[in-house]
Each structure stands twice: as structure tokens, then as C-alpha cells.
Amino acid sequence: MNLDIVILAAGKGTRMGSPLPKVLSNLAGRPLLAHVLDTASNLKRCKLHVVVGHEARKVKQAFSSNKKINWIKQSEQLGTGHAVKQALKHIRHNSNVVILYGDVPLISENTVQRLAKLASKGPALLTFNKENPTGYGRIVRGSRNKVQAIVEEKDASPIEKEISEVNSGIMAFKAQDLTRLIGKIKNNNKAKEFYLTDTIQEAYHEKLNIQSLKLTDIDEVLGCNTLEELQTLERAYHLSVAKKHLNRGVLFANIERVAFRGDVSIERGAFIDENVIFEGEVFIGSGAKIGPGCIVHNSSIGKNAELLAYTLVEESVLENNAKAGPFAHVGVQTKMDDGAEIGNFVEVKRSHIGANSKAKHLTYIGDAKIGKGVNIGAGTIFCNYDGKNKNQTIIEDGTFIGSNSSLVAPLRLGEGSFTGAGSVITKNIPKGKLGVGRGKQVNLNKKK
């Protein structure tokens, strides 16, 4: 089955109170439209059409790297039927067509596939029941519970307004049916717009076999017209992603208090505490523990590794059994090997920490290559910047760095070497030697 997806993304979004087109509003760190495109792009034999109008240039620019999109301009916003009509000449005649919306981002791939399959039997619409259906088009059914029409709120009679089954707006057709039915709809309604929903009444008059698919998870069709509704959508998105991970064996302290702002892969048996934020491409291995308040950005956390409370990890790799935190900052381009540890108020950047090496307290490590089994005492500073260049410090296996040391790069500390506490080390230390660089203590009598 060929599948043409038409995504309507021409609206202004005036009530959002933003200068951006509504479909560029941010959901979980990405534009609303990006989520819809992701879902559609996963479908087989699919061709993507996006209808744009308001600030079309900005919308197209935001997705300029996606060469699979066929952009279609709706110069005047005359309703959903008019918007779909602009796409008709681009649709393959032998395909099934699904109409999606750029501001309804949680629709699932499975739901789209099921609706598209139904369209082979006749025009298909996605419906759901709503306790308070105000503002929604009502599904009018006749004998044998067959769909007869969709009546918009503005045009509904008092009796029709009592109907709780409503239209999601998402519909599917055989291409030839859609082309014919769109040509029949009129704008003789209070809004003077061409409603896509009127195609259902035309299909009923043609005695087509109208199909319907009723959702159980209505979060899939949540949209937004205001910032308050966007907040509701944000919560629903993160909860939906958390549930998917939960059902795959990931453990959570509270699935309602985790944010997923990117492509996040978590293996079975990992544990995620409250108020954790994942951003970008993230991998969490099995048995890993992510403590409360942690932020993981474009990073990989290995099996049985652990992030303690309020640790930030950015563009880095923690191998199996590595440990960071609490209140640690694993900065960009850092790699921590198996069993490596950094502790509270330790910051690391552009460094490689070898297996079972440790920096447990109040330390800055920058531009360093640290071997295996190294111990870095509290208060140590890697002085990597000379005012012009970043310089590297190399510490070989088994070295012991005394507390409150300052290591002035470029520098090499040989295997099994030591530094005395409070030293400023400016010269290389050979293998097995002790480096001490501090002023001689003098004890003076107290003045009377």
C-alpha cells in the first residue's frame, strides 16, 4: 500500500502569544512539527507533504535538512478542506492518504497505520469520547451505528451538541475518493470555510462504507492553541515516553517527573529517579542508576554505572561501573573508563579518566589523560589554560596526587609518582618520584 501523508501546518497560532508559527512551538526541546514528521517518516512506502501558510519560509527553513518533504503553499487560509485541496495534485493516484496536523504531535505510528489500512474500505476517521465535547466536531451516526456526518460546534443543533463522540480531525481516504469528495464540499457555514469534515457527509450521500477508529488513549490527539494547552501537551509527551520505557523493564521512582528531550535509549533494569532530564541522544545501560535531579545531554552511561544526585553529564561517555556525583559536572569530551569515579563538586572537561581512577572531592580536571588506578586528592586543580592555549596534563598509572595540588600544564607525572599536599607542580615528575612544590614553613613568635 502506497501511503501519502498530508500534514496541515499553515496556521498562525495567534493565541500562543509567540512570534513563531505555531508548529515551531517547542515540545520537549523540538518543534511540534518535528514530532509529527518523525512518526510519518517511519511509515513504509510513505510520501510526505506539508501544507504551509503563515511564515512559510520560517517553517521550511527549520526543516531544510529534510529533503523528503514536499512543501505546499496555502496562500489563503480558507479551512482544512481548502488546505488539503492544495495537496491533491501531488498525491499518487493509487495511494491511501492520511491527513495529520502539525500541532498534534503525539499521534502514534501504529494508529496512523491502522487508520490508513481502514481507508482501503472507505473514508476513515479517528474519533474519541470526550466528557466535555465543547469545541469539537460531533460524530453523527445513523442506523446500524454507521457514521453519517461530522457536525462542527458552530453548526451543531442542541441535540447534536449532546453527542460525546467527537472528531480528532485525523482522517484517511483512498486518493481517488479524496479528490472526488473534496471537489464537492462547500463553504456554506458560519465560518465561510471549506471543512475537510464535510467530505464525510458527501461520502454518506454516495453510500460509501465510512470507517471509524475510536482511540482509547486520547493523549494521542492532544493539540494546542494556547501556552496552557502546550503545557498539558508537554506533560502528556513525557509521560507517554516514560510509560514506553516502563513497559520495557526500566524502573522509575516517579514516571510523572522525568523529562525526555531527545532520542533516549534505556536498557532493561536501569533505574531513573525523580526530576531527571534527558536531552539529545542518550544511552543508559542496564543496571545503571540515575539519581534525582541529574541532567544527561548527548551522552552514554554504561551498564551498572551510577550518577548521584544533581550531576550534569554533557557529550561524554561513562563506561560500565563508572560513578559520578553528587553535584558533579562531567563536561564535554570526557570519557570515564570502567570503575572510574568522580565525587561531589568535581568538574571534568576534555579528559580521559582511566579504569578505577578516582577524584572524590572538590577538584577541577581539564584537558587531562589519566591512567589506571590514579588517586586525585581533594582540592586539586589542573591548571590547563595559560591565557592563550589549553594545555594537556598526562598522569600515568598508579599515581597519587596529594590534596590541594595545582598541576600546571603542560605536564607529565610518571607511573607510580606522588605529589605532596599543597604543591604547585610545574615540572614533570619521573616514575616513582615524589614531587613537592611549596614554600618552606616558618613558625614565628606572636607579637605581644
pLDDT digits (tens, 9 = 90+) for 89-128: 999 999 999 999 999 999 999 999 999 999 999 999 999 9
The residues of the chain that CATH labels 2.160.10.10 are 227-435
Choice among 245, 297, 329, 361 that is catalytic:
361
The residues of the chain that CATH labels 3.90.550.10 are 2-221
Assign 22 a pLDDT band (cuts: 50, 70, 90): very high
Q: Is 40 helix (H, G, I), strand (E, B) or coil?
A: helix
Q: Are 279 and 261 in contact (CB under 8 A)?
A: yes
Span 219-247, average pLDDT: 94
Q: Which fold has domain 2-221?
A: Spore Coat Polysaccharide Biosynthesis Protein SpsA; Chain A (3.90.550)
Placement of cell 517553517 in the chain: 59
Placement of cell 553535584 in the chain: 327
152-166, 238-252, 309-323, 399-413: segment of lowest average pLDDT: 152-166
In percent, the amount of the chain with pLDDT more than 90 equals 83
CA distances from 7 to 19, 99, 226, 378 (A): 21, 6, 20, 57
pLDDT value at residue 14: 78
Span 348-367, average pLDDT: 98
72-96 pLDDT tens trace: 999 888 899 999 999 999 999 999 9
Active site residue 35: no
Q: Are 311 and 297 in contact (CB under 8 A)?
A: no
Assign 18 a pLDDT band (cuts: 50, 70, 90): confident
Placement of cell 536531552 in the chain: 279
- The whole-chain average pLDDT of the chain stands at 94
Question: What is the DSSP code (8-state) at residue 216?
Answer: S
CB-based contacts of 351: which residues, under 8 Å, 6+ apart? 333, 334, 335, 365, 366, 367, 368, 369, 370
pLDDT value at residue 190: 78
Beta bridge partners, 277, equal 259, 295
90-104, 143-157, 432-446: segment of lowest average pLDDT: 143-157
The CA distance from 269 to 120, in Å, is 42
Question: What is the DSSP code (8-state) at residue 427?
Answer: S
Question: What is the DSSP code (8-state) at residue 196?
Answer: T
By CB atoms closer than 10 A (0-12, 13-18, 19+), residue 80 is buried
pLDDT value at residue 155: 86
The CA distance from 263 to 408, in Å, is 39
168-218 pLDDT tens trace: 999 999 999 999 999 999 988 878 889 898 999 899 999 999 999 999 899
Whether 13 shows a pLDDT value over 80: the answer reads no
Q: At what angle do helices 80-87 and 175-182 cross, to 10 degrees?
A: 130
pTM, two decimals, is: 0.88
Among 324, 323, 320, which residue's Cα sits nearest to residue 310? 324
Strands 95-101 and 30-31: unpaired
pLDDT value at residue 17: 78
Q: Is 405 helix (H, G, I), strand (E, B) or coil?
A: coil
Whether 263 shows a pLDDT value over 80: the answer reads yes
CB-based contacts of 384: which residues, under 8 Å, 6+ apart? 366, 367, 368, 390, 391, 392, 393, 409
The CA distance from 318 to 338, in Å, is 8
Secondary-structure breakdown of the chain: helix, strand, coil percentages, each rounded to the nearest 5 = 20, 35, 45
How many CB atoms lie under 10 A from the CB of residue 12? Answer: 12
Beta bridge partners, 375, equal 358, 400
Placement of cell 492532544 in the chain: 222
Q: Which fold has domain 227-435?
A: UDP N-Acetylglucosamine Acyltransferase; domain 1 (2.160.10)
